Amino acid sequence: ERRNGADHYAITQRTAEIEILPGKKTPILGYDGEFPGPTIVSRSGTPTVVRHTNALDIPVVVHLHGGHTPSVSDGFPTDFVMPAGSHELPHGHAASGRIKHGHFDYEYPMKQRAATLWYHDHRMDFTGPTVYHGLAGFHLIHDDEEDALPLPKDERDVPLMITDRAFDGDGAFVYPALDPTMLEEPGVEDDYMAGVLGDVVLVNGAPWPELEVDAARYRFRILNASNARRYRLQLDPGPSDGDPFTQVGSDGGLLAEPHGLGDILIAPAERFDVVVDFGKYDVGDTVTMRNGLGDGSTENVMRFRVVRKASDDSRIPDTLSEVEELDADAATVTREFEFARATSSTGHDDMWLINGKPYDPERVDTRPTLGEIELWRFVTDVHHPVHVHLDPFQVVRRGGRPGPGTYDEGWKDTVDIRPGEVVEVAIRFADYAGMYVMHCHNLEHEDMMMMSNFETM
Ligand code: C2O
Ligand code: CU
Ligand code: CU
């Protein structure tokens, strides 16, 4: 609904039971009782206001991932939206956040380019369980530059949200930390520490789905919304000639030029906007999207069945967008962030830390100046998908090699750091002074304190 020059959406967060596995009911926490939540569509330059009403019995926080958003609407981890009528804050949390009751109008100015964003819960200490139970949805932004391109459109422009889940015999999601007795079983606590994995891959909430496609080009906006699982997406069989995927966009919107990919290595929270040409297959063919990092059931992502010949006037132009390159040499400051598990000598057992410190919502770790380019170095022990709020960045060096790696093209807001690797990014914050977070997007790592505040000024 368009009112006072802004697009308005209203979403109610509530419990629901939905059918994911045939004949079984899965209780979820859902935006409007759905999983994935409803897709929100914005126009660049037109503000979008989303009223979130909390009809759950727990506090929630909504974050628009990839949003260029003023701090009050960014979903700071202690800015709780309390259930209507409840005034009891979660244990151990002082009223440090900007607390709301019953509902909150999140305001997104949409001063940003076309991109595939998503929204999800972001409550401190509790993001893993709420997202796992369903609090995630797409939020797309369109603009004139993208509209003018001859890329596949409408029913051939398909967002794909990939998640993995485990189910019990009744169809309920199994999330170990909600059942503390499970953590006492051998190995389970370590699995939780590493990040919660499921053994069933869901695409847009469905296990091993099949999409009927025309023998034509399709644009897929692929989001890995899993808590902790990484995927290597492959097409089987591949096309007779050329790359199976042509990447046209990443987290922060269109690339300058298309980028051929043999496969897609995607970490939690990353987005790959790709074109697949089913015109290179025959009618009747089934093309499987596999996960090369999976085994058994986690190898299976989805299937495409080519059902008919069809006209296709789409095309992938040689130039997609005018993309500014951030000049890393112009960086005014270099900062280092070390992502590592606590060793007992620090006194914090079993936690994931940034620069040796557990997350504290009151502590400001970094104070970037708006408008200045900074060089941020991410250093890790094991795999961590590092995410920064407010503005995207560009990868300038990975593992000692200059330039972005194969899967790092374009504007990124989440970057996967491999064990023992250093990744350097150029970043520049703009427009909004205030408190934001950067964190590991393995949601269990995030909940176990691998998060840090920065305050722009
Ligand atoms: Cu997608 Cu701070 O999160
Ligand atoms: Cu984010
Ligand atoms: Cu991590």
What is the atom index within ligand 1 of the atom nearest the CA of 414?
A: 1
Calculate how far, in angstroms, residue 420's C-alpha sits from the geometric centre of ligand 3: 13
Of all residues in the chain, what percent carry a pLDDT higher than 90? 89
Nearest ligand by distance to the CA of 127: 1
CB burial class (10 A; 0-12, 13-18, 19+) of residue 91?
exposed
CB distance 219 to ligand 1 below 6 Å = no
- For 335, 395, 430, the CA distances from 373, given in Å and listed in that order, are 12, 13, 10
- Which segment of 84-93, 167-176, 312-321, 337-346 scores lowest on mean pLDDT? 84-93
- The pLDDT, as a whole number, for residue 348 is 47
Q: Among all chains, which residue has been given the structure tokens 């085994």?
A: 295
CB distance 439 to ligand 1 below 6 Å = yes
CB distance 68 to ligand 1 below 6 Å = no
Question: Is residue 188 classed as helix, strand or coil in its secondary structure?
Answer: helix
- The pLDDT, as a whole number, for residue 91 is 61
CB distance 123 to ligand 1 below 6 Å = no
The contacts of residue 116 (CB under 8 Å, 6+ apart) are 66, 138, 140, 159, 221, 223, 249, 251, 253, 271, 273
Residues 232-249: pLDDT tens digits?
A: 999 999 999 999 999 999
Binned at pLDDT 50, 70 and 90, residue 184 comes out as confident
Residue from 18, 435, 406, 71 nearest 243 by CA: 406
Nearest ligand by distance to the CA of 270: 1
- For 18, 35, 36, 208, 245, the CA distances from 300, given in Å and listed in that order, are 22, 20, 19, 6, 18
- The pLDDT, as a whole number, for residue 6 is 95
Calculate how far, in angstroms, residue 294's C-alpha sits from the geometric centre of ligand 3: 19
Distance, CA of 216 to CA of 303 (rounded, Å): 16
Calculate how far, in angstroms, residue 319's C-alpha sits from the geometric centre of ligand 1: 30
What is the atom index within ligand 1 of the atom nearest the CA of 439?
A: 2
What is the atom index within ligand 1 of the atom nearest the CA of 66?
A: 1
Tokens of 237: 């069989």
Calculate how far, in angstroms, residue 53's C-alpha sits from the geometric centre of ligand 3: 31
Binned at pLDDT 50, 70 and 90, residue 182 comes out as confident
- The pLDDT, as a whole number, for residue 179 is 80
Calculate how far, in angstroms, residue 271's C-alpha sits from the geometric centre of ligand 2: 12
How does DSSP classify residue 154?
G
Binned at pLDDT 50, 70 and 90, residue 432 comes out as very high
Instruction: Tell me the pLDDT of the chain averaged across its residues.
Output: 95
What is the atom index within ligand 1 of the atom nearest the CA of 118?
A: 1
- The pLDDT, as a whole number, for residue 345 is 56
Calculate how far, in angstroms, residue 251's C-alpha sits from the geometric centre of ligand 2: 11
Residue from 384, 385, 388, 364 nearest 376 by CA: 388
Cα–Cα–Cα angle for 79, 84, 89, nearest 5°?
A: 45
CB distance 113 to ligand 1 below 6 Å = no
Residues 309-320: pLDDT tens digits?
A: 999 999 999 999
Binned at pLDDT 50, 70 and 90, residue 144 comes out as very high
Residues 94-108: pLDDT tens digits?
A: 557 899 999 999 999
pTM (whole model) above 0.95:
yes
- The pLDDT, as a whole number, for residue 453 is 98
Tokens of 7: 């697009």
- Average pLDDT of the residues in 120-134: 97
Residue of the CA atom closest to atom 3 of ligand 1: 65
Question: Is residue 73 classed as helix, strand or coil in its secondary structure?
Answer: helix
Residue that wins the pLDDT comparison between 380 and 93: 380
Nearest ligand by distance to the CA of 61: 1
Please report, for the chain, how many H helices and E strands are present, in that order. Answer: 5, 33
Nearest ligand by distance to the CA of 268: 1
Nearest ligand by distance to the CA of 389: 2
- Which segment of 82-91, 119-128, 138-147, 292-301 scores lowest on mean pLDDT? 82-91
429, HSE (Cβ side, Cα atoms, 13 Å): 25
CB distance 269 to ligand 1 below 6 Å = yes
- The pLDDT, as a whole number, for residue 349 is 63
Distance, CA of 189 to CA of 195 (rounded, Å): 10
Judge contact between 152 and 275, C-beta under 8 A: yes
- Average pLDDT of the residues in 57-72: 97
What are the structural domains, with CATH classification, of the chain?
2-144 (2.60.40.420), 154-309 (2.60.40.420), 328-456 (2.60.40.420)
Binned at pLDDT 50, 70 and 90, residue 183 comes out as confident
Calculate how far, in angstroms, residue 238's C-alpha sits from the geometric centre of ligand 2: 33
Calculate how far, in angstroms, residue 350's C-alpha sits from the geometric centre of ligand 3: 13
Calculate how far, in angstroms, residue 366's C-alpha sits from the geometric centre of ligand 3: 19
Question: Is residue 155 classed as helix, strand or coil in its secondary structure?
Answer: helix
The contacts of residue 246 (CB under 8 Å, 6+ apart) are 258, 259, 260, 261, 274, 275, 276, 277, 316
CB distance 259 to ligand 1 below 6 Å = no
How does DSSP classify residue 24?
-
Dihedrals φ, ψ of 58, to 5°?
Answer: -130, 155
